[in-house]
Amino acid sequence: GQQVMQIPQYQHVQEGEDFTTYCNSSTTLSNIQWYKQRPGGHPVFLIQLVKSGEVKKQKRLTFQFGEAKKNSSLHITATQTTDVGTYFCAGPPGRKLIWGLGTSLAVNP
Amino acid sequence: KAGVTQTPRYLIKTRGQQVTLSCSPISGHRSVSWYQQTPGQGLQFLFEYFSETQRNKGNFPGRFSGRQFSNSRSEMNVSTLELGDSALYLCASSLVDPGTNTEAFFGQGTRLTVV
């Protein structure tokens, strides 16, 4: 069936280091969305990418959508303790959002 | 405007019982999706309702059901509860369709514990 894989599952970094999570889909996606869930919280929308090869930035966060629209990445430059949480990608092969398992980020101050 | 409201926030039930969870979407949002979240399993899609019709369904047994009312409020029901049903149940609303160019707004979730 349709799957969205995310790697790594966990990442532990020192504050100030960079962080990247990757998302790969078994099928072409019409768009991909990224969400962040803080510990004890609920997923919060970060961004949506629609176009092939699209790159979007939000301050220290850079999001990319692959040329084939099957993969995506989220890169955080110079992590801060406020970046702690689980980052999910979600793709809609159809109308139903398929979610990756998420990458849990821990940041040592 | 008010966000997505889920009630109750916490629930403890016994095996074999049934439970009903409620979700009030953001005003004007017509799509409501339900997810089960457990450690290590991520977000598992249960079903999605749009204008009172179930449009998509995940791979869950028939014990899991839902409905949506004319005011877009949605309920999900789990019958004959099993220990494995213990999870955080999240509801997400979107303006039209979470699979198109609209974001999903999540509620705080209902933490269900089955003992």
Q: What is the mean pLDDT of residues A38-42?
A: 93
Q: Could you identify the residue written with the tokens 């949605």?
A: B74
From first to last of its 115 residues, chain B has per-residue pLDDT tens of 679 999 999 999 999 999 999 999 999 898 999 999 998 778 898 999 998 999 888 899 999 999 999 999 999 999 999 999 999 999 999 887 666 667 889 999 999 999 9
More confident position, A80 or B40: A80
Q: Which residues of A touch B (CB under 8 A)?
A: 30-31, 33, 35, 41-45, 48, 50, 88, 90, 92, 94-102
Nearest alpha carbon to residue A17 among A99, A100, A107: A107
Decide if A96 and B99 are in contact by the 8 Å CB cutoff: yes
pLDDT of A51 above 80: yes
Q: Which residues have C-beta within 8 Å of that of residue A63, sequence separation ≥ 6?
A: A34, A46, A47, A49, A55, A56, A57, A72, A73, A74, A75
Q: What is the CA radius of gyration of chain A?
A: 13
DSSP states of A40-83 as a string? TS--EEEEEE-STT-EEEETTEEEEE-TTSSEEEEEESS--GGG
pLDDT of A49 above 90: yes
Q: How far apart are CA A88 and CA B61, in angstroms?
A: 25
With contact defined as beta carbons under 8 Å apart, do B44 and B61 qualify? Answer: no
Name chain B contacts of A35, Cβ cutoff 8 Å: 104
Q: What is the pLDDT of residue B34?
A: 95
Torsion of CA B14, B15, B16, B17, to 10 degrees: 30
A8–chain B nearest CA distance, Å = 13
With contact defined as beta carbons under 8 Å apart, do A9 and A56 qualify? Answer: no
Name chain B contacts of A88, Cβ cutoff 8 Å: 42-43
How many residue contacts between A and B have a Cβ separation below 8 Å?
62
Which B residues 19-78 touch A at CB under 8 Å? 33, 35, 40-45, 48, 55-56, 58
